[in-house]
Amino acid sequence: MSSSANSPEKDPSFYITTPIYYVNARPHLGHAYSTIVCDAIARRKRSQGYATWFLTGTDEHGQKIERSAAKAGRTPGEFAAAISGEFRGLWDRMGITYDDFIRTTEPRHKRGVQKLFAELKAKGFIYKGSYTGQYCVSDEAFVEVPPGAPCPDCGRTTETISEENYFFKLSAFERRLLEFYEANPGFIEPEARRNEVIAFVRGGLKDLSVSRTSFSWGIPVPGDEKHVVYVWMDALTNYMTALGYGADEPELKARFAKFWPADVHLVGKEIIRFHCVYWPAFLLAAGLPVPRSVVANGWLLFDKAKMSKSVGNIVRAETVLEVLGGDALRYFLLREVSFGHDGNFTFEALVQRYNGDLANGYGNLVSRVVNMVHKYFGGVLPEIAPEAVATGPAEAAIAGQATETILEFGAQFDGMDFSRALETVWALVGAVDGYLTSAAPWKKKPDVADEDFAAMQARVLATAAEAIRVMTGLVHPILPESAAKVWRQLGLGEIEDAAKSGELKQLAWGGLRAGTRFNEPAPLFPRAEKDAVERMENLEKDNTLTAVAAASGTEAVAVAEPVAAAPVVDAVKEAVKHEGIAQIGIDDFVKVELRVAQILVAERVPKADKLLRLEVDLGYEQRQILAGIAQYYAPETLIGRKVVIVANLAPRKMRGLESNGMLLAASVGDEGAPVLAGFLEDVPVGARLR
Ligand code: MSP
């Protein structure tokens, strides 16, 4: 695969997108995979001098979401907000550097979708008709199979629908699309997918239904509001509406002009047809530029099947983050999976790679070298006096390999062969390890003079430290947290600054200066204990919110009970003691700002049994609150729940995290078990209690 962006000299902008995620199910590792790949690419592009825009978001309309919400007993809007908040919260926790997060329920998106629809209609590419045939709700796709037959793509049951629809003249684009693929060989990657798409189009294209009338959870067709826009037309348009398509504001128009068309739409292989056939056809019809490339990733498999909520074989990213950390997950996914192909996820392989490549490999190398610079040179990188100790062949070999690594890594990474790119860097890790072992700068031989030994130590440590600087500069898009730590240990400051200033773009052997003061060594990848696999497996088992495959075959979210529901209810039955608190006047009461807030994110605070970290929406702002309710409420049960908070409580810090407010709860029973305050009627977020 080749890099699709132009060189920064010709075109300094780069626009990359993840697919927008359906909000019918909580995020899992499969979703995290696409997002991590895009994040790594965006980080590297920024460091290479491209003005980069990285978009992600959630796909919130359609029948599948409407039904999932109904099943969970919520309105689609509430339901979508809660799950969208989970995706966003997880990306934030993982340090994903997205520039924008679009929700298809936002007004800016609705405006753009209606504009595109109206334009296609005005140009004569959309006409009214009726559709009778099969529909797969899970894929949100019209499928050509006889009634009662399963979906040819996902195997789930299809439904017969018969409704008045608007149609897009897809059939008119058969030739133009084939010509377009021919003229733009880099448009679909990898090659196998390209062949698949070309064969599909050659097989003949029928007009595509682009509206629905049998449900209402969608964007109304302009001028004919009993129709909602077909969810795939709605969803695909996000790539433009997020930039500003359909907006009147000059700064948004400028952003659209700067970044459209996208350089890379990264998508899963099962949605290539929507992106490579329907999407370019809509754009060609509207007279808009077509994206430069659609790159398909393979699937992450668990127990040999695509990881998915409906199969029930998902692993949550949070589990890996908690036990091994975010960089371990990023490294594993990019190193283990050959990009474009399916790849297996197992806890055993993850721990093996973590211990082998990160803890014992790169992490151990950094720690040895930084420790020795402290031990032998007081933490200051020594001078290599050229007249006293000529740099020998071993150093020249390391320098040569490092220089080659810079070139090879760049070509492999930009060609999206992340696994080989990492392999290339780890070959350098191995070489430097071997070099250290054979030079043994910690062991003075009796026949070597003191000053010769000191000179050898200086030469070897300076060479090894420089090699570490090079590898760290390269892997920073993949291991951002660890690279930042190593950069600081080498006394180089913030690696993000080096990325911004263009220093990483110029990465070349010989940049580490003698006299640089190293910082204290800090652990990078503590060895995973024997029970790491078991701990992760248990965390997944404990996850009370395993997928529930609904009878229809669509995915649903189970709403679990609070972990300690029964004791709490018992406790409520007990007599409540009045604590004899002094009376206050209304003036005192109004000083307390009580408001309705909705919980968007809820997660345990590592090493704090009682605390949950919450992100709540107040309508006018979102904020973080820490609540001591972890022993009574499973975090997943709180997502989407409306609660009452004390909004004007002065911020305070707990476990290094700032809490901005307090949740109101009844305190019941001897233990003072919390029971969260709530409402029977629906209340808007932000409403004040008085
Ligand atoms: N909403 C559509 C995309 C619209 S884009 C205009 C959708 N959503 S999805 O939530 O079902 O999937 C989003 C992405 O996650 C897809 O690219 C899909 O391939 C990816 N993955 C979901 N499970 C996955 C794996 N097990 N492995 C790898 N990627 C997977 O489709």
What is the per-residue pLDDT across 499-526, written as a single tens digit (0 to 9) for each? 999 999 999 999 999 999 999 999 999 9
Burial class (CB in 10 A: 0-12, 13-18, 19+), 368: buried
- Hey, is 501 helix, strand or coil? helix
Q: Is the pLDDT of residue 400 over 70?
A: yes
Q: Which ligand 1 atom is the nearest neighbour of the CA of 307?
A: 26
Whether 279 lines ligand 1, by a CB cut-off of 6 Å, is no
Cα–Cα distance between 62 and 448 in angstroms, integer? Answer: 77
Pocket test for ligand 1, best of 87, 233, 267, 279 (most atoms within 8 A of CB): 267
Give the H/E segment covering residue 673.
strand 673-676
Give the up-direction half-sphere exposure of residue 614: CA atoms within 13 A in the CB hemisphere: 34
Q: Whose CA is nearest to atom 23 of ligand 1?
A: 30
Average pLDDT over residues 518-539: 94
Please report which confidence band the pLDDT of residue 155 belongs to, taking 50, 70 and 90 as the band edges: confident
Question: Quick one: pLDDT at residue 606?
Answer: 85
Give the H/E segment covering residue 88.
helix 76-93
Q: Is the pLDDT of residue 413 over 90?
A: yes
Please report which confidence band the pLDDT of residue 680 belongs to, taking 50, 70 and 90 as the band edges: low
Pocket test for ligand 1, best of 17, 28, 31, 68 (most atoms within 8 A of CB): 31
Nearest in space to 272 (alpha carbons), one of 165, 145, 181, 168: 181
Whether 26 lines ligand 1, by a CB cut-off of 6 Å, is no
* Mean pLDDT score across all residues of the chain: 89
Cis omega before residue 521 (within 30°)? Answer: no
Rounded to the nearest whole angstrom, what is the distance from the C-alpha of residue 153 to the centroid of ligand 1? Answer: 14
Rounded to the nearest whole angstrom, what is the distance from the C-alpha of residue 65 to the centroid of ligand 1? Answer: 15
Cα–Cα distance between 262 and 601 in angstroms, integer? Answer: 30
Percent of the chain with pLDDT over 90: 74
Whether 308 lines ligand 1, by a CB cut-off of 6 Å, is yes
Rounded to the nearest whole angstrom, what is the distance from the C-alpha of residue 19 to the centroid of ligand 1? Answer: 7
- Beta strands, E only, 76-174: 100-103, 126-136, 141-143, 159-168
Token pair belonging to 536? 């992760």
Give the H/E segment covering residue 638.
none
Q: Which ligand 1 atom is the nearest neighbour of the CA of 238?
A: 6
Token pair belonging to 346? 């197992």
Average pLDDT over residues 548-568: 31
Over the stretch 459-474, which tens digit does the pLDDT of each residue have? 999 999 999 999 999 9
- For residues 264 and 16, the answer to whether their CB atoms sit within 8 Å is yes
Question: Quick one: pLDDT at residue 385?
Answer: 58
Q: Is the pLDDT of residue 566 over 60?
A: no
Rounded to the nearest whole angstrom, what is the distance from the C-alpha of residue 419 to the centroid of ligand 1? Answer: 21
Cα–Cα distance between 486 and 363 in angstroms, integer? Answer: 9
Q: Of the CATH numbers 3.40.1280.10, 3.30.450.20, 3.40.1440.10, 3.40.50.620, which one belongs to the domain with range 13-323?
A: 3.40.50.620
- pTM, two decimals, is 0.79
Question: Quick one: pLDDT at residue 391?
Answer: 72
Cβ of 430: how many Cβ atoms within 10 Å?
A: 12
* CA-to-CA separations, 559 to 53, 69, 438, 563, 642, in angstroms, rounded: 36, 11, 59, 12, 15
Question: Quick one: pLDDT at residue 390?
Answer: 52
Q: Which ligand 1 atom is the nearest neighbour of the CA of 19?
A: 5
Q: Is the pLDDT of residue 441 over 90?
A: yes
The count of residues in the chain is: 690
DSSP string, 542-608: H-S---EE-TTS-EE---PPPTTHHHHHHHHHSPPPP--PPP--HHHHTTS-EEEEEEEEEEEETTE
Note whether 13-323 and 347-501 share their fold: no
Whether 313 lines ligand 1, by a CB cut-off of 6 Å, is no
Whether 62 lines ligand 1, by a CB cut-off of 6 Å, is no
Rounded to the nearest whole angstrom, what is the distance from the C-alpha of residue 22 to the centroid of ligand 1? Answer: 8
Report the C-alpha dihedral over residues 282, 257, 245, 260, rounded to 10 degrees: 40
Q: Is the pLDDT of residue 9 over 70?
A: no
Cα–Cα distance between 659 and 80 in angstroms, integer? Answer: 26
Average pLDDT over residues 370-395: 82
Over the stretch 177-231, which tens digit does the pLDDT of each residue have? 999 999 999 999 999 899 999 999 999 999 999 999 999 999 999 999 999 999 9
Range name among 40-54, 84-98, 164-178, 667-681 with the lowest pLDDT average = 667-681
Q: Is the pLDDT of residue 538 over 60?
A: yes
Whether 21 lines ligand 1, by a CB cut-off of 6 Å, is yes
Q: Is the pLDDT of residue 656 over 90?
A: no
**Alpha carbon 373 to chain centroid, angstroms:** 37
Whether 154 lines ligand 1, by a CB cut-off of 6 Å, is no
Please report which confidence band the pLDDT of residue 681 belongs to, taking 50, 70 and 90 as the band edges: low
Amino acid found at 547: A
- Beta strands, E only, 263-376: 264-268, 294-297, 300-302, 305-306, 343-344
Question: Quick one: pLDDT at residue 620?
Answer: 81
Structure-model confidence comparison of residues 616 and 325, the more confident one: 325
Strand 264-268 with 13-17, pairing: parallel
Question: Quick one: pLDDT at residue 640?
Answer: 79
Classify the C-alpha dihedral 675-679-682-686 as positive or negative. negative
Q: Is the pLDDT of residue 565 over 70?
A: no
Token pair belonging to 137? 């709700």
Give me Rg for the CA atoms of the chain. Answer: 28
Please report which confidence band the pLDDT of residue 637 belongs to, taking 50, 70 and 90 as the band edges: confident
- For residues 390 and 474, the answer to whether their CB atoms sit within 8 Å is no
Whether 275 lines ligand 1, by a CB cut-off of 6 Å, is no
Amino acid found at 86: E
Nearest in space to 57 (alpha carbons), one of 9, 96, 2, 30: 96
Average pLDDT over residues 139-161: 90
Over the stretch 570-626, which tens digit does the pLDDT of each residue have? 333 333 334 456 787 787 888 899 999 988 888 888 888 889 999 888 888 889 999
Domain spanning 592-689: CATH superfamily: Nucleic acid-binding proteins (2.40.50.140)
Over the stretch 56-102, which tens digit does the pLDDT of each residue have? 999 999 999 999 999 899 999 999 999 999 999 999 999 999 999 99
Whether 340 lines ligand 1, by a CB cut-off of 6 Å, is no
Q: Domain residues of the chain, as ranges? A: 13-323, 347-501, 592-689
Q: Of the CATH numbers 3.10.20.10, 1.10.730.10, 1.10.2020.10, 3.30.70.270, which one belongs to the domain with range 347-501?
A: 1.10.730.10
Rounded to the nearest whole angstrom, what is the distance from the C-alpha of residue 399 to the centroid of ligand 1? Answer: 42
Strand 548-549 with 555-556, pairing: antiparallel
